[in-house]
Chains A and B, each alone.
Chain A
């Protein structure tokens, strides 16, 4: 292989990596909001699926992409309300209710797809927006500055999420109810309301993550099209140590591996495609086992709040 070809492949892989990081970023940062408030939402993948479907359907019927994203966020909030009702108000085991939510989202999106759409169709998704000047930088331009609006949004979300969690009164409340809900309660913070808010905000982002697949990256909807991305997003929150910047690093690492395996298949590298597809998932397990920094784990993660119980 000649040198020009190698460089082109590397640029290709990195460009794909940035694109593919998009759903991970929305979903994982959303999950970080929920978890920082003390709620593990394992239903992310299900929310992504219904969000992705809602966006696809709205784009298909109205042609408005922004309306599609809005619809995805809206059904995300509905799913988030359901999750909060079960795990915050009714205090059910979060892991179980999250899995239930996932299966509900998977089933619902498949059913609605069969009934309302039926066959695989494509929609014209968000166009690529080349950023003036920056987009013309050799190599870096195509990798970073020739993407759709939703891709840029995902990367902008990282500093915004950091600012929100670390520098606002709302972020302080979210962090406090995740670490010591009794302390927050004793200062008049409404613990359950804060958790509802965080879970729903996270779920809205998970919905948008689904939309980024169906109306920006792939521009179609298929049953179970996320193929477990939502679960990787949950893993990324642990991997990133509950920090937006850590999540960004993790998301890029995973999407890079994902992009690499896609390119390996395209280039006909001699490994079975099933093995290649497994790579990101294997990396998830390895990263969770070895790279998780638990010092920042919210102390009240997975613990429903009851006043006076401690």
Chain B
């Protein structure tokens, strides 16, 4: 079925010599990119490589400083997304651009002329949404409110929004970041269907295996520069990593665990979420000394609330949290720290660091009352500087000086400062929430090594991550959380990605047996 008629079908888009500067950063440095109808063109690169920036220029969100955009040979200038939409370009952003309080149909109709202007004609919109939904296997209900939808469903609404506007080139910015492995399979089927209908797709990702699976061609960006474009069929994983990072990266090989006595025991933990519903519904979990337990799950299933309950940012309504046998569930934040808890928060700029404070001040957020650094009234700045200097050196933090405001550091270096602060206290229990989110591969590697060292030193580590690869690499055991309950716990190497994925989707291990998670053939076409 052809897309909605208005914009012309795009055969080829060329971006030539694109340069984009932001204050202090050269985000795109003479990048050339060519996208053809009927291909999935992947943009691969680390965080900050300039992938999203490049595509936002193609979608008219900001103009390039230099360079040209040609559609089927004709130069185009996009002043706003409206211009790009008119030219047949659609974009599915990493953070979905949906209005949660509106229905699916209202979200689709937003900004479009109605056939009964000024009145909305939601019936007509719904009908067309249903048609598109059938044609591409995108299951959605036009009258459902967006806030009621799962992340996967919201993504389908985003795709329908683009198709409804007749987009023939669709940019997908990190579309798999928030999906379960099964949802990724479903998405890939839809994308394949779209490509076979003659759409051109740009797939932005830093996940190699996905890029290899879905792409026709791959373009790698690094530090704003284009490193090269290759047909996906001819490249190996190692070559791609080398193009992305600029050097070889050795995979982490964890030593076998020598776990000791339980250091963290969570029993029957209940807590309310921000929306007033119960976010934790009786979580039971145990982490032993020298063990990393990875908490996997789709975002929003209680991971945040669990981490906050442990760190003291949220109050548990029932249950116990034992550290070394002591119940800390109702301790103050300081008492928790003294009980041996360290916390690397998910929102590192909100909960982990104070933006405008210097690196040194951020190192001392906890320890400024320690007798080592104060006589009770005045702080001993000399000693503090020595300590902070030693820590930043030890943790390889790249900063101009200790007095630099922490907000000027890269994500990876901010995370290293937080890690340095938390680990320097030699904690019994470490809660690491999304420790490498938005961090480049080099820093990720470093943070992972530090976590493994900490594990070897006997710390009980609870690793909360939405990156299943990270969980699978680091964890001795993997606990899967779903709707505020632990769905199941598996040992390293005992479960496949598919089994973990089913647990993440709330399907328990027993009922999951024998299910084929990712069917080889396209059921939509049948």
Is chain B found bound to chain A in the same assembly? yes
Residues of A within 8 A of B (CB): 167-173, 175-176, 179-180, 182-190, 296, 299, 307-308, 310
Question: How many residues of B are counted as interface, with CB atoms below 8 angstroms from the partner's CB atoms?
Answer: 32
Q: Does B91 contact A (CB under 8 A)?
A: yes
* Segment of B28-36, B79-87, B290-298, B394-402 engaged in the interface with chain A: B79-87
What's the least CB distance linking A297 to chain B, in Å? 10
Known: A167-B119, A187-B85, A187-B111. A172 touches B102 (CB 8 A): yes
Q: Does B77 contact A (CB under 8 A)?
A: no
Q: Does B62 contact A (CB under 8 A)?
A: yes
Q: Which of A186, A190, A308 has the most CB of B within 10 A?
A: A186
CA distance A182 to B59 in the complex (A): 14
A307 contact set on B, CB distance < 8 A: 61-62
What's the least CB distance linking A303 to chain B, in Å? 14
B100 near A184: Cβ-Cβ < 8 Å: no
Using an 8 Å CB-CB cutoff, how does the interface string of B44-81 with A read, 1 for contact, 0 for none? 00000000000010010110000000000000000011
Q: Can you list 26 A-B pairs, Cβ within 8 angstroms, ordered by A? A: A169-B109, A169-B117, A170-B118, A172-B120, A173-B111, A175-B102, A176-B102, A176-B110, A176-B111, A179-B99, A179-B101, A180-B97, A180-B98, A180-B100, A183-B110, A184-B99, A185-B81, A186-B81, A186-B93, A186-B97, A187-B81, A187-B112, A187-B161, A188-B82, A188-B85, A296-B101
Using an 8 Å CB-CB cutoff, how does the interface string of B105-121 with A read, 1 for contact, 0 for none? 01101111110011110
CA distance A296 to B117 in the complex (A): 26
What's the least CB distance linking B156 to chain A, in Å? 16
CA distance A176 to B109 in the complex (A): 11
CA distance A172 to B100 in the complex (A): 13
Q: Does B124 contact A (CB under 8 A)?
A: no
CA distance A180 to B98 in the complex (A): 7
Q: Does B242 contact A (CB under 8 A)?
A: no
Which of A179, A189, A308 sits near B111, CB closer than 8 Å? A189
Which of A167, A175, A188 sits near B101, CB closer than 8 Å? A175
Q: Does B95 contact A (CB under 8 A)?
A: yes
B102 contact set on A, CB distance < 8 A: 172, 175-176, 179
Main secondary structure of the interface of B (DSSP, over half): loop
What's the least CB distance linking A126 to chain B, in Å? 29
Which of B61, B91, B113 sits near A169, CB closer than 8 Å? B113
A180 near B99: Cβ-Cβ < 8 Å: yes
B81 contact set on A, CB distance < 8 A: 185-188
What's the least CB distance linking A160 to chain B, in Å? 12
What's the least CB distance linking B25 to chain A, in Å? 14
CA distance A186 to B91 in the complex (A): 8
B85 contact set on A, CB distance < 8 A: 187-188
A308 near B110: Cβ-Cβ < 8 Å: no
B111 near A175: Cβ-Cβ < 8 Å: no
Q: Which residue of A lies closest to B121 (CB)?
A: A169
CA distance A172 to B119 in the complex (A): 10
What's the least CB distance linking A34 to chain B, in Å? 17
A175 contact set on B, CB distance < 8 A: 99, 101-102
What's the least CB distance linking B49 to chain A, in Å? 17
CA distance A167 to B120 in the complex (A): 6
A299 contact set on B, CB distance < 8 A: 100-101
B62 contact set on A, CB distance < 8 A: 307-308
What's the least CB distance linking A151 to chain B, in Å? 27
What's the least CB distance linking A174 to chain B, in Å? 11
A167 contact set on B, CB distance < 8 A: 119-120
B97 contact set on A, CB distance < 8 A: 180, 182-183, 186-187
What's the least CB distance linking A122 to chain B, in Å? 40
A169 near B114: Cβ-Cβ < 8 Å: yes
CA distance A308 to B94 in the complex (A): 12
Q: Which residue of B lies closest to A169 (CB)?
A: B114
What's the least CB distance linking B158 to chain A, in Å? 10
B119 contact set on A, CB distance < 8 A: 167-169
What's the least CB distance linking B124 to chain A, in Å? 13
Can you add 18 more A-B contacts, CB < 8 Å, to A172-B106, A179-B100, A180-B100? Answer: A168-B120, A169-B109, A169-B117, A171-B120, A172-B110, A172-B120, A176-B99, A179-B102, A183-B99, A183-B110, A184-B99, A185-B80, A186-B81, A186-B91, A187-B97, A307-B62, A308-B56, A310-B95
CA distance A11 to B82 in the complex (A): 56
Q: Which residue of B lies closest to A297 (CB)?
A: B101
Q: Which residue of B lies closest to A310 (CB)?
A: B95
Q: Which residue of B lies closest to A179 (CB)?
A: B99
